[in-house]
Structure 1
Amino acid sequence: MKRISTNLLVIIALTIMIPCLAMGQSTKNKEQILKSMELANHYFMNKWQDVGKIIYVPSKHKSWPSHIWTRGVYYEGLMALNQVDPKDQYIQYAMDWGKAHDWSLRGGIETRNADNQCAGQTYIDLALIKKDTALMSNIKASIDLMLTTDQVDDWSWIDAIQMAMPIFARLGDITGNTAYYNKMWEMYDYTRSKLNGGGLYDTKNHLWWRDKDFMPPYKEPNGKDCYWSRGNGWVAAALVRVLDGLPKTAPHYNDYLQDYKDMMQAILKYQNKGGYWNVSMADPTNFGGKELTGTALFTYAMAWGVNQGILKKKTFKKPISSAWAMLYSCVHPNGFLGYVQGTGKEPKDSQPVGYNHEPDFEDFGLGCFLLAGSEVYKL
C-alpha cells in the first residue's frame, strides 16, 4: 500500500476544514445579527407595552396617536423580523396595535396623505396572516377612494413613496385588480418625472431631491445638489417593497426595476469608508458622520437585491458588510439605538446626531434597522 504524502494529508484536511470554518463563521454572524435585532426590539417593546399610548414629544410640545407613520415604519420592521424569526409575541404585539386603533387610519378613510396610510402596510400583513380581510378594510377603502379620482399629485415629497406606494402593489396582488397598478404608476411617475416641471428624480445621478424646495438651483454648502440619505432611502425601500410582490408581468415592472438598479449603483460612490452614508450624501461637511436611518434603508435595499439575484454579490457584499458593521455599532448594550436622525426633511434637522442622541421619535429608526437586519440575515 502506497504511503500518502504529508502535503496531500494537509490538502485533504484543509479541504474538510475550510468549509466547516466558513459555515461556523456564517452561523455566528447570523446569530449576531438576530441577537442585535432582538435586543433592539425588546428594548422598544418593553418601553412601549401599551401599544395604543399617545406619543408625546416634549421638544415639540405636541402629541400624536400611535398609528402615525413613524410607528407604521416600526411595524414594517417588526413584520420583517417575524419573517426570519417567527414569534407569536410579535404578531400579538402588532395585532394589539391594530385593535387599539380599530384598524383605522389617522384622518379616516378619506385621507389621501401617504403618512396616514403607512399603517395600512402592516394591517395588510396581519390580514393575510390571520386570514381576515376585515383587518385591511379601512386601508383598502382609503386607496379605493383614490382610484375614483384623476388626482395624482399627492406624493409631493419622496418619503411618501415608501409610506403608501407598496400598499397599491399589495392590493393589486391580493385582488387581481390592475387598477391599483395603473394608479400607482401614475402617481409615482408624476412625482418622479413631472412634479414642479421636471420631477424629483435626478435622471443624471439617479438620486432624488426630497421635494420641490430642494430641486436645483438649491445647493448644499459645498455647491453640490442636496441628496438627503434618508429620503433616498425611503424611495429605495419603497421600490424593494413594490418589486417584492409585484408580478413581473404587471405594468411598468421593468421601469421600477431599472430605477431600483440605477439607484443601487449610484449610492455606492457616496458610502463613507466607515460604512455609512452622510445625511447629506454629496456634502460630508454638512452634518457629516454616522447616521443610522439612511444607512439602514440602503442596506435593506442592497441586501434584498443580492438575495433576489438582482444585484451582483461580488459588487455589493463588501458595501453591505461594511454598512451592517456600522449599524451594529449603533446598538447600545440595553438595545437603545444611537445615531438616529429624528424627524425632518433635510440634513440639518434633528441635529446633532450621536451615539447617545435621543431622537424625537425612536420607533421609525428601529423599523429601518429591523428591515436592514432581516435582509442581511438572509445573506
Structure 2
Amino acid sequence: MKKGIIVLISCLIAGSINLLNAQQLPLKADVIEKMELTNAHLMKKWPDPGVNVITNKERPSNLWTRAVYYEGLMALYSIKPDPAYLQYAIDWGQAHNWGLRYGVDSRNADSQCAGQTYIDLYNIEQKPERIRDIKASVDLMLKTDKIDDWDWIDALQMAMPVFAKLAVLTGDSKYSERMYEMYMDTKVTQGLYNKKDGLWWRDADFTPPYKEPNGEDCYWSRGNGWVVAALVRVMDILPENDPHYKEYLKTYKEMMKALLPIQREDGFWNASLHDPNNYGGKEASGTSMFVYGMAWGVNNGILSAKKYMPAITKGWDALATESVHEDGFLGYVQGTGKEPKDGQPVTYTSKPDFEDYGLGCFLLAGSEVYKLSK
C-alpha cells in the first residue's frame, strides 16, 4: 500500500515538473510555427517587396517600418534558413538599388534603418553594392562633429545597430565610438533617460513637467521597446571588450529590472508603462521587444532564468495565443505615433496603419524564445 502511494506521489511530482517545464518553455516547433504563420501572412500580402506602401500617402518600401520587419525576417532566417526568406530580403534590397529612403546625404536614423539588413546580406554574400549607400551615409556623418541627431528614442534602434555592424565589418572603431557619443548625447545631454525609473521619455515633448493623467511620467511602451532592441542588438554585435559595452549592459539591466514588475497579469505591457488607464490594454509591439530583450538576456547568461522566465513565458504566450490570428494577422499592434494615444484603438481586430514593424518585433521576440525552447 505504502509502495503504491509512493509511486503515485512520484508520478504526481514528475507530472508537476513536466507541466512546469511546459509552462516555462514552449516547444521549438510551436514557436517557429507562429513565426512562420505570421511571416507568411505578410509575404502573401506583399509578394513584390519593392512595391510602394500606400496608407495615408504613398511611400517607398525601404521606409523604417518595412526595415524593422526585415530585421525580424533575418532573425527568422537565422533559426530557419529558408532560401525563400533570404531571396525576399535580397529582392527588397535590389528593388531599391540598395539605397536609403532619403539618400546618402540624410542623417535621418529612420532612413538608415534599412542598412541593418543590407549589411546582414552583405555578410552572407560580399557584393559591394549592398553596403555602398549605407556606409557612405554614415561616413558623411562622421565627417562632422554633430552628435545630436538622435533626439527621439526610436532612432536608437533604427541606427545604432548600423554603426555597430559597420564597426565590426570594417574593423574600424570610429563607427562604434561615434555611436557611443550620439547615444550618450541622447541619454545624458538631451536627458531622455530617467535613471531613477530605469525608463526613457520618448522625446523632449514628454520630459517633465509633462505628466500622464494619473500624474506619473509618460513612458511609452514601444519607445522603450525600441531602446531595449537597440541595446540588445548592439551588444549582440559588438565584442564584450568594446570600451562602452559595460555602459550598454548597465542601462539594459536597469531597464529589465524596471519592466519586470509592470508587466500586466495577462502577459502584455500597457502602451503607457506607468499609467495603465491612459489607453490601457494589450499592446503587442512593445511587449514583443520586452520579451525579446528578456529572452536574449537569459539566453546569454545575463539575466536570471528563475527571475525572468515567468515574464518571458507569460509574454510570449500572450503574443502567440492572443495576438496571432488563424491566418497569421497580428492583432493588438498600436499604429505609428509617439505616445499612448496615437494609433488607437488597439484591439484584436484593429489594423495599424503599417502592419510590418509589429511583425518585425514579434519575429525578433520569437527568435530568442526559440533558443530557450526545448
Q: What is aligned with 2:73?
A: 78
Structure 1 distance, partners of 2:318, 2:15, is 30
Structure 2 distance, partners of 1:258, 1:178, is 21
Contact 1:181-1:251 within 8 A present in 2 as well: no
Structural RMSD (CA): 2.0
Q: What is aligned with 1:179?
A: 174
**Gap change, CA 1:23 and 1:353, over 3 Å in 2:** closer
Question: Is 1:133 aligned to 2:124, yes or no?
Answer: no
TM-aligned CA deviation for residue 137 of structure 1: 1.5
TM-aligned CA deviation for residue 117 of structure 1: 0.2
Question: Is 1:226 aligned to 2:224, yes or no?
Answer: no
1:283 aligns with one of 275, 287, 309: 275
Deviation by residue 1:127-159 (Cα, 9 ceiling, x = unmatched): 001232331121111111111110000000000
Structure 1 distance, partners of 2:101, 2:201, is 27
**Gap change, CA 1:88 and 1:19, over 3 Å in 2:** farther
The one-letter code sitting in structure 2 at the alignment partner of 1:227 is Y
Structure 2 distance, partners of 1:24, 1:351, is 35
Aligned residues: 369
Q: What is aligned with 1:339?
A: 332
Question: Is 1:68 aligned to 2:63, yes or no?
Answer: yes
Question: Is 1:212 aligned to 2:207, yes or no?
Answer: no
Q: What is aligned with 1:236?
A: 228
Deviation by residue 1:299-328 (Cα, 9 ceiling, x = unmatched): 001100000000000000000011111111
Contact 2:335-2:342 within 8 A present in 1 as well: yes
**Gap change, CA 1:272 and 1:129, over 3 Å in 2:** same
Question: Is 1:256 aligned to 2:251, yes or no?
Answer: no
Q: TM-score, normalised by structure 1?
A: 0.93
Question: Is 1:33 aligned to 2:31, yes or no?
Answer: yes
Question: Is 1:357 aligned to 2:330, yes or no?
Answer: no
The one-letter code sitting in structure 2 at the alignment partner of 1:230 is R
SS at match of 2:27: helix
Deviation by residue 1:316-345 (Cα, 9 ceiling, x = unmatched): 000001111111111111011111101000
TM-aligned CA deviation for residue 29 of structure 1: 2.2
1:200 aligns with one of 159, 177, 192: 192
**Gap change, CA 1:228 and 1:24, over 3 Å in 2:** closer
Q: How does 1:273-352 map to 2 (within 5 A)?
A: 273-328=265-320, 329-352=322-345
Contact 1:52-1:101 within 8 A present in 2 as well: yes
SS at match of 2:262: coil
The one-letter code sitting in structure 1 at the alignment partner of 2:36 is E
Q: TM-score, normalised by structure 2?
A: 0.94
Question: Is 1:245 aligned to 2:237, yes or no?
Answer: yes
Return structure 1 stretches of 4+ with deviation > 6 angstroms.
Answer: 5-28
SS at match of 2:237: coil
**Gap change, CA 1:101 and 1:322, over 3 Å in 2:** same
SS at match of 1:111: coil
Structure 2 distance, partners of 1:14, 1:133, is 60
Structure 2 distance, partners of 1:139, 1:281, is 34
Structure 2 distance, partners of 1:223, 1:11, is 52
Contact 1:207-1:266 within 8 A present in 2 as well: yes
**Gap change, CA 1:296 and 1:178, over 3 Å in 2:** same
Contact 2:24-2:309 within 8 A present in 1 as well: no
Structure 1 distance, partners of 2:22, 2:247, is 40
Structure 2 distance, partners of 1:316, 1:308, is 13
SS at match of 1:244: helix
Structure 1 distance, partners of 2:25, 2:88, is 28
The one-letter code sitting in structure 2 at the alignment partner of 1:52 is G
Q: What is aligned with 2:43?
A: 45
1:189 aligns with one of 169, 184, 193: 184
Contact 2:24-2:313 within 8 A present in 1 as well: no
SS at match of 1:278: coil
Structure 1 distance, partners of 2:18, 2:316, is 24
The one-letter code sitting in structure 2 at the alignment partner of 1:300 is Y
Structure 1 distance, partners of 2:142, 2:253, is 29
Q: What is aligned with 1:157?
A: 152
**Gap change, CA 1:131 and 1:149, over 3 Å in 2:** same
Deviates more, 1:27-36 or 1:336-345: 27-36
Deviation by residue 1:49-79 (Cα, 9 ceiling, x = unmatched): 011111110xx2x111000000000000000
Q: How many percent of aligned residue pairs carry the same amino acid? A: 57
Structure 2 distance, partners of 1:21, 1:218, is 46
